[in-house]
Amino acid sequence: MKIFKSLWFWLISIALILGIIVFLTTNKKSDIQATQAHHADRANKETPQAPSAAQLSDTKAQYFPLQSYRVGPYAAGGTGFYGGFIDYMKSVNAQGGINGVKLVWSECETEYVVEKGVECYERLKKGLNGTPAAATNPLSVGIAYATLERSTQDKLPLITINHGRTDSTDGRVFPYVFPLQLNPYSEVSAIINYLGEKSGGVANLKGKSIVVLYHGSPYGKETIPVIDALSKKYGFQVNHIEVPHPGNEQQSQWLNIRRIQPDWVILRGWGVMNPVALKTAQKVGYPVDKIIGNIWSNSEEDAAPAGSAAKGFISITTHPSGSNFKVLQDIKRLVVDQGQSDLADLKRFGTVYYNLGVVNGILNVEAVRIAQEKFGQRPLTGEEVRWGFEHLNLTDQRLEQLGAVGLVQRLKLSCEDHEGGGAVRFQQWDGTKWNVISDWVQADRTFLRPMIEASSQKYAKEQGIQIRDCTSEKS
């Protein structure tokens, strides 16, 4: 009996102890939940916001099809750009969408291959689950060229920020194509104007020698005619040297450059071509501060892999790197700090490619917002969004409201002008980061416009396109 009594004693004791543990654990969990609820309620009171992303409806959504590339030799550009673009859209959703309209998107991997880009376009162009597509943003000259006529036929805006077909600046002929901020001709013109400033005036460019080292693709070849025209205008000599895709081997090109001994080299690279160019220039003894990188030779991924060979390298930019902009701080608070960033490597937050994606997001969202003012606060068709792009007008006041002062240049588009900006700044790599070294340098758009119109009108004649009368569309 004593043994049974002893056993019962211990069983009862154990049961009592377990009961106390369960009681204490349950109370602690309730206290934690109550504390979390209190903090959440306090945060909501201290930071009043528009409807949250959770309140936005998938049935009232605006779709962005993304022909992205996250693998291959140009993955650094794709992951950074689409990372910034997607994070900006997530930030917009976290603040209530565009007047209550949720932003949704899906990706299709192109690997920067034209054929895959066209396939992705056809797969995504009709929208997602009943939500209409707003615009395409392929970030590829080849894919842009291949889908241009399809976009026009489908009445779906094709956005080619800082690249694309130069004559698509003429919206009278290309109503659905938008080379926002900087077309290739403006890019080169701004670089020549900068070199003129460094020479004491463009008149002093006469007799100078410039080599253009370009990527062997439609993108790389796009600016050959305008460089030749600027050479005739200002009297400098120009040599065009091609680097075959992807640009891993450049020894013969740089030996040729050493033989020519130019005053400057304009580097129109892309992806791995850029750090290889800088390292090879160092090997042949060409000074890096005489190399001027274009808009696709201006990222951290272009300079850092070259190590010491990149220190002093100068490039253009339409947007600086860094995160000290209100719009970037909003993204950090609402997306990055919540563990929702699209970036695999958060160290890339605020880098050149990422910030370009943010800028692209701002312009796309602003076009939708403007179009909503005319067509209603609802998901819009591509045709309606096209109207929004043509009426983009980013004044200093609007940039302040967007938290993008210093990140985005003033921009005003129209039926005739689908570029809207044409200005760049110059930055220099100090071995670890980019530093802006100039004010805005404007392209000679007056000189460029006749060339753009001649090319666009030739295209219109070849394609049987009726040139739009923009005066009759003012509204």
Instruction: Evaluate whether 422 touches 166 at the Cβ level (below 8 Å).
Output: no
- The encoded tokens of residue 447 equal 């000189």
HSE toward the beta carbon, residue 460, CA cutoff 13 A: 18
For 79-89, the pLDDT digits (tens) are 999 999 999 99
CA–CA separation, 230 vs 74, rounded Å? 30
Range with lowest mean pLDDT among 20-34, 182-196, 363-377, 413-427: 20-34
Of 163, 122, 124, 119, the C-alpha closest to 140 is 163
Q: What pLDDT shows up at residue 55?
A: 75
CA–CA separation, 244 vs 234, rounded Å? 29
Burial class (CB within 10 angstroms; exposed 0-12, middle 13-18, buried 19+) of 257? buried
Cis peptide before 246 (omega within 30 of 0): yes
For 319-346, the pLDDT digits (tens) are 999 999 999 999 999 999 999 999 999 9
Rg, Å, the chain Cα set? 27
pLDDT of 30 over the 90 cut:
no
For 287-298, the pLDDT digits (tens) are 999 999 999 999
Partners of 102 in the β-ladder: 61
Q: What pLDDT shows up at residue 59?
A: 84
- E strand residue ranges, 10-159: 61-66, 102-107, 158-159
Q: What pLDDT shows up at residue 2?
A: 47
Of 122, 143, 97, 133, the C-alpha closest to 385 is 133
**Residue position matching structure tokens 């800088």:** 278
Q: What pTM, to 2 d.p., does this model score? A: 0.87
From residue 249, give the alpha-carbon distance in Å to each of 242, 271, 410: 12, 13, 39
For 247-258, the pLDDT digits (tens) are 999 999 999 999
**Please, what's the largest Cα pairwise distance for the chain?**
116
Instruction: Evaluate whether 277 touches 255 at the Cβ level (below 8 Å).
Output: no
CA–CA separation, 68 vs 109, rounded Å? 5
Instruction: Evaluate whether 272 touches 77 at the Cβ level (below 8 Å).
Output: no
For 341-360, the pLDDT digits (tens) are 999 999 999 999 999 999 99
Burial class (CB within 10 angstroms; exposed 0-12, middle 13-18, buried 19+) of 164? buried
Of 160, 228, 166, the C-alpha closest to 459 is 166
Grade residue 26 by pLDDT with cuts at 50, 70 and 90.
very low
Q: What pLDDT shows up at residue 21?
A: 55
CA–CA separation, 245 vs 74, rounded Å? 11
- Check the CA dihedral 83-85-91-97 and report its sign: negative
pLDDT averaged over every residue in the chain: 91
